[in-house]
Amino acid sequence: MNRALVSTPRADGFHMPAEHAPQQAVLMAWPERPDNWRGNAGPAGEAFAAVAAAIQPATPVVMCVSPASEARARALLPAEVKVLIIPSNDSWMRDIGPSFVVNGAGGLRGVDWPFNAWGGAVDGLYDDWSLDDAMAEQLLEWRGVERYRAPLIMEGGAIHVDGEGTCYTTAECLLHPSRNPQLGRTAIETCLGDYLGVDSVIWLPHGLYNDETNGHVDNILHVVGPGEVALTWCDDPGDPMYAICREAGEALAAARDARGRTPLVHRLPLPGPLYVSETEAAGVTASAGMARHAGERLAASYANFLISNERVVFPLLDPAQDDAARDALASLFPSHTIVGVPGREILLGGGNIHCITQQVPQV
């Protein structure tokens, strides 16, 4: 058992580094759930393998799988990808894996956030999340990394950090009654400070429209450098994202990060809008929490990309906007290789490339 430390990362001199800092590995988990992934997760498995193959040339990938999926995963994945037998209830490693913290002197530890399937009894997506909640502890034990168990129900997709003392999140998610109803904004900010080593929390009012995670920040915004973010942007007044983007922009314009900067905002195009097709909906096994309906709007965003060691891997979602998204990312990351990977099958499950990955920082 990887017994949790009784202190906090801040007290021990640790903080979470930015995603654009060097990485030693990227963690993923294999998709299986037939009530979330159509065709018994067949197309999703191919999509996850393609994401792993896009990351692997830049950063070693570790894929967690159940015993039942090991053979298929191994057949689809590049030989260089490490396959690790740790089962999960679903495959969103950003949310079920640990957030890693460093101390600048070679130390690496992990934060294990309690997980309740994005809402528990209030609006959780499934009833049994015990394997997901155990994932962080098992991964940290496997890697020989000490663990903190945070007193805050949260998912990794609910936060972005800049590595310089600032955390970005959304009020829609972290103040949602399904997470920590006993905690107010100030108490949550204190906890984020203690477990991420941050001094400033910048709150966006809402996340992406119809995002079943209750508005994760990583689906609308991405930290791209010190004092700089990429924000999903919509110019159609008839789209509900029009108002959401503008209130986010206003919140960022009024904010100051931990270094006293007003974040510089770069705009990313909004794909679509995209909707679930009849064929896609018919391929999912019906369940109470994760019903998929034809015509349902998908929470599609180009902000849901991964930065990893001079490479940016982003989802291809809309032929009308993919090139514009690639150009925007290339301008933001001129020294990086920009790699697009078809992302619709991941989107159908409720997220995208950032959601299914979790970076391990280099120390």
| pLDDT tens-digit series, residues 186-238 | 999 999 999 999 999 999 999 999 999 999 999 999 999 999 999 999 999 99
Beta strands in the chain (DSSP E): 4-5, 23-29, 61-65, 82-85, 99-102, 108-112, 146-149, 160-161, 166-170, 200-204, 221-225, 228-233, 264-269, 306-307, 311-316, 337-342, 358-361
In tens, the pLDDT along 318-351 reads 999 999 999 999 999 999 999 999 999 999 999 9
**pTM for the structure as a whole:** 0.97
Neighbours of 210 (CB within 10 A): 14
Terminal CA-to-CA distance of the chain, rounded, Å? 24
In tens, the pLDDT along 81-103 reads 999 999 999 999 999 999 999 99
- Could you tell me which of 151, 178, 240, 167 has the C-alpha nearest to residue 204? 167
pLDDT band per the 50, 70, 90 thresholds, residue 258: very high
Residues 6+ apart with CB under 8 A from 91: 28, 29, 30, 31, 32, 33, 44, 48, 349, 356
Quick check: 256 pLDDT over 80? yes
pLDDT at 1: 64
In tens, the pLDDT along 155-176 reads 999 999 999 999 999 999 999 9
Pairing state between β 337-342 and 160-161: unpaired
pLDDT band per the 50, 70, 90 thresholds, residue 292: confident
Report residue 39 as tokens: 């065709």
- CA dist 217 and 206 (Å) reads 8
pLDDT at 289: 77
Q: What residues are annotated to the active site?
A: 355
Q: Does residue 26 contact residue 212 with C-beta atoms inside 8 Å?
A: no
Domains of the chain: residue spans and CATH: 9-361 (3.75.10.10)
Quick check: 251 pLDDT over 80? yes
pLDDT at 290: 81
Specify the DSSP class assigned to residue 3. Answer: P
Q: Does residue 257 contact residue 162 with C-beta atoms inside 8 Å?
A: yes
